[in-house]
Amino acid sequence: METITSSLEKILDDLESVGGIELSAIVSKQGLLMVSRKTAAETSSEAFAALTATLYMSAESTTMRLSKEKPKSVIVETSDKHLITYAAGPDALIVVLVGDEGFIGLILNELKKASEKVRAIL
């Protein structure tokens, strides 16, 4: 029998097979790290989880006030990377850091599939 942790790790493995993803994680909306892959040496996984959850919850608060709808994703673009935070059910987020070689459209499509798998597990 597969554990919840190993099931979530498999989702990240499948997601990263798309290519271009430098870092991936599944975190709670409260900012607690559930599982992660390829954390950069200078980045604390726990701090990363907390910060990305805060980013998403801020976006959620803003969109709820403006349109009464929750965002599916939040994308932060820098000159060479994209940080994508994608809702995965009522209590979880999938976060990926995508480098220059990543195809955002393809990754967003795979994030949608991955979020449905996370929702089914949690």
The CATH number covering residue 29 comes to 3.30.450.30
Q: Which domain holds residue 74?
A: 4-121
Full-model pTM: 0.93
Sign of CA dihedral 33, 93, 114, 108: negative
Judged by DSSP in three states, 21 sits in strand
Tell me the percentage of the chain whose pLDDT exceeds 70: 95
pLDDT of residue 41: 54
Over residues 36-90, the pLDDT tens digits come to 987 555 567 888 899 999 999 999 999 999 999 999 999 999 999 999 999 999 9
In the chain, how many domains are there? 1
CA–CA separation, 76 and 83 (whole Å): 5
Phi-psi region of 50 (alpha: psi -120 to 50; beta: other; left: phi over 0): alpha
Beta-carbon neighbour count of residue 18 at 10 Å? 17
Q: What are 121's two structure tokens?
A: 């597990």
118 alpha-carbon distance from chain centroid: 11
Would you say residue 1 has pLDDT above 80? no
